[in-house]
Amino acid sequence: MAEKKIKPVEKKYYEVKVECTLPATVTYRILAETPEQALDLIKGKQPNGVKHRLAGRKDIKVMVYDSGSTIVRLVKNLLGR
């Protein structure tokens, strides 16, 4: 009787991108004459710091790709759950 060899499941790397709403505090350091001018000047600027709270995040959409490629393997919408 011939023995059947069990082939192990092959693992590979995936890239997972998650669209989510994330409670975060974004900090800018802006040189301005008035607070109103400072609000106008932050548009289009990169923040100096971001302090996030991952425990409060709400996932909206998850996309799984083959690592290093643009081939989408799985898309899952999580909105409304």
**Residue 70 resides in a domain:** yes
Give the DSSP H or E segment for 39: helix 35-41
**Residue 35 resides in a domain:** yes
Domain that holds residue 66: 7-22+57-81
More confident: 39 or 2: 39
3-state secondary structure of 19: strand
More confident: 4 or 30: 30
**Residue 1 resides in a domain:** no
**Residue 48 resides in a domain:** yes
Q: Is 29 in the same domain as 40?
A: yes
Residue 81 has what pLDDT?
55
Q: Is 50 in the same domain as 32?
A: yes
**Residue 2 resides in a domain:** no
Q: Is 30 in the same domain as 15?
A: no
Confidence of residue 79 (pLDDT cuts 50, 70, 90): confident
Nearest to 14 by CA among 71, 64, 61: 64
User: Can you say whether the dihedral through the CA atoms of 63, 66, 70, 73 is positive or negative?
Assistant: negative
Residue 5 has what pLDDT?
86
Per-residue model confidence as pLDDT tens digits over 8-45: 999 989 899 989 999 999 999 999 999 999 999 999 89
Number of structural domains the chain divides into: 2
